[in-house]
Structure 1
Amino acid sequence: MKPAGTSIIFVDDRDRVLLLLRDDRPDIRYPNQWDIPGGGVEPGETPEETIVREMREEIGLELKGAELFERTEFPDRIEYTFWKRANLVIEEIDLMEGQELRWFTREEAAATPLAFGFNPTIEAFFQRLPILHGA
């Protein structure tokens, strides 16, 4: 069985998505590359529990009210991508993993190679965003 991962797309009121610049360490996958915040599901956890834990560990956020955007089967994993509208102030976030957080427009995200093959996920999110506005 493939391992499971979780990720979350935070979107602000200007319809930008929050991405995380991964640490620049040789012992991790995709070092120094932009990524959607998230992490791996640990034994006994649900994807919902994982994304809450990961946001607490990575950015010190007590995540509430995130919704599942999609479940995607990648060659190396099953990914549960959540989303939440949030106007997070980057300067107020105590980043505990990664080098930097930054808001990206649809065009900026499309022009940036994302870790773990997430570019199609972000594009699908932007395509569905008008529908999600009504959610």
Structure 2
Amino acid sequence: MKTEVAIAILYQEDKFLMQLRDNNPNIVYPAHWALFGGHIEAGETPEVAVQREILEEIGYTLPSTFSKFGCYPDEKVFRHVFCAPLTVELNQLVLNEGWDMSLMTPEDIRVGASYSSVSTDVRPLAPVPQKILLDFMETNGSSN
């Protein structure tokens, strides 16, 4: 049975909030940039799961205007992808999961890598989150 996850594209102006995953070889995409979110628990809808995960991971309550962007299934994981504006400054968020977080430009997303001030080097974007964001930028006419 596939794992189901709910993840969020959080955008502010023309940038996207990304999480640098922990540098732990036992997780998927260690030390890669990815989207915030996580596993859907038993009895949860994807909508409830994404709200819970974002609150747990960065202390952010999704605005009521959040919406479903799409689904990205592969051989192991079924990803429910939501999108919402990030209505607070980065310094108002509390990183409770992951190594670092950053607002990335469309150029960072296209290049597939971005600098982390915590790891003090350039880290790659995980391939699936990069594809999701490229699709989102294309759909929403993101410039740069």
Q: Do Structure 1 and Structure 2 share a fold, with TM-score over 0.5?
A: yes
The 2-side partners of 1:101 and 1:129 are apart by 23
SS of alignment partner, residue 123 of structure 1: helix
Q: 1:82 — aligned with what? A: 82
Contact persistence 2:7–2:50 (CA under 8 A): yes
Q: 2:36 — aligned with what? A: 37
What CA RMSD, in Å, does the superposition of the two structures yield over aligned residues? 1.7
User: What does 1:1-135 correspond to in 2, within 5 Å?
Assistant: 1-13=1-13, 15-65=14-64, 66-112=66-112, 113-115=124-126, 117-130=128-141
Contact persistence 2:20–2:31 (CA under 8 A): yes
Count of residue correspondences: 130
What TM-score do you get using the length of structure 2 for normalisation?
A: 0.82
Q: Relative to structure 1, is the Cα distance of residues 116 and 41 closer, same or farther in structure 2, using a 3 angstrom cutoff?
A: farther
Q: Please identify runs of 4+ aligned residues in structure 1 that moved more than 6 A.
A: none
The 2-side partners of 1:120 and 1:26 are apart by 22
Instruction: Please tell me the residue identity of whatever aligns with 2:133.
Output: I
| Bigger proportion of residues as strand | 2
Instruction: Please tell me the residue identity of whatever aligns with 1:119.
Output: Q
Q: Relative to structure 1, is the Cα distance of residues 63 and 87 closer, same or farther in structure 2, using a 3 angstrom cutoff?
A: closer
Unaligned runs of 5+ in 1: none
SS of alignment partner, residue 71 of structure 1: strand
What TM-score do you get using the length of structure 1 for normalisation?
A: 0.88
* Residues 23-57 of structure 1, C-alpha deviations (whole Å, 9 max, x = no match): 11233221111001110111111100110110111
Unaligned runs of 5+ in 2: 113-123
